[in-house]
């Protein structure tokens, strides 16, 4: 067996349940952190969608208020000019601005959802490719979570997924199918 989940195992015996539990315990924490980080990213994107997509005028008003708090001088005049230029550009092509921001935030939300699904797959030890995709997406800065928070969790998940026993557990879980009695492990 080469260690990849798609390969047929060399040993036809079923995997030891204790090994599966050890892998599940090792994969649980990074999977949960990937999900939490992705949910944090969805919250941040939801908060950003207000001023960037639904009410850009509120963002202009916020900028004007911040500039008004600055002491008089050339820096304040420069900031006032920049805010006026931004407002003119926004009023000239409001639909394009809103559409661009909606696409960017929608893409970020899709990456966050992929990371969350990958985290669930990692924590459940089912769906190796989905777990790997979610882990790799989390490694990209600014793709999930807030700024670079996904990088440590993505690295942790990648390390767990690269272990041979984890690959074997994913393969055993895929080929084993559901248990005959789903409550059997509770009745011991």
Look at residue 13 and tell me if it is in a domain.
Answer: no
Alpha carbons 69 and 64: distance in angstroms, whole number: 9
Look at residue 29 and tell me if it is in a domain.
Answer: yes
Look at residue 155 and tell me if it is in a domain.
Answer: yes
Query: Is residue 147 classed as helix, strand or coil in its secondary structure?
Result: coil
Confidence (pTM): 0.78
Alpha carbons 109 and 3: distance in angstroms, whole number: 33
Domain assignment of residue 69, given as a range: 19-173
How far are the Cα atoms of 7, 9, 15, 175 from residue 12, in angstroms, in the given order? 12, 6, 9, 11
Look at residue 188 and tell me if it is in a domain.
Answer: no
Buried residues in 140-156 as b, exposed as e (16+ CB within 10 A): eeebbbeeebbbebbeb
Look at residue 6 and tell me if it is in a domain.
Answer: no
Q: List the pLDDT tens digit at each of the 188 positions of the chain.
A: 455 555 544 443 446 778 888 999 999 999 999 999 999 999 999 999 999 999 999 999 999 999 999 999 999 999 999 999 999 999 999 999 999 999 999 999 999 999 999 999 999 998 999 999 999 999 988 888 777 888 999 999 999 999 999 998 888 877 665 556 667 667 65
Look at residue 10 and tell me if it is in a domain.
Answer: no
- When divided into structural domains, the chain yields a total of 1
Residues 6+ apart with CB under 8 A from 80: 67
Look at residue 3 and tell me if it is in a domain.
Answer: no
Look at residue 7 and tell me if it is in a domain.
Answer: no
- Segment holding 176, helix H or strand E: helix 164-176
Alpha carbons 169 and 144: distance in angstroms, whole number: 27
SS3 for 86-133, per residue? HHHHHHHCHHHHHHHHHHHHHHHHHHHHHHHHHHHHHHHCCCHHHHHH
pLDDT of residue 145: 79
Strand ranges for 21-100 from DSSP E: none
């Amino acid at each position: 067996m080469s260690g990849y989940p798609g390969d047929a195992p060399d040993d036809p015996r079923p995997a030891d349940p204790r090994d599966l539990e050890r892998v599940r315990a090792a994969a649980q924490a990074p999977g949960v952190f990937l999900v939490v980080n992705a949910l944090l990213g969805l919250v941040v994107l939801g908060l950003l969608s207000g001023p960037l997509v639904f009410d850009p005028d509120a963002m202009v008003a916020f900028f004007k208020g911040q500039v008004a708090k600055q002491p008089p001088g050339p820096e304040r005049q420069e900031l006032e000019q920049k805010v006026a230029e931004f407002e003119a550009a926004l009023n000239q092509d409001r639909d394009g601005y809103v559409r661009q921001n909606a696409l960017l935030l929608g893409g970020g939300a899709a990456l966050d959802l992929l990371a969350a699904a990958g985290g669930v797959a990692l924590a459940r030890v089912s769906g190796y490719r989905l777990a790997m995709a979610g882990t790799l997406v989390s490694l990209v800065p600014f793709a999930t979570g807030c700024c670079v928070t996904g990088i440590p969790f993505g690295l942790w998940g990648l390390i767990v997924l690269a272990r041979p026993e984890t690959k074997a557990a994913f393969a055993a879980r895929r080929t084993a199918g559901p248990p005959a009695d789903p409550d059997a492990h509770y009745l011991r």
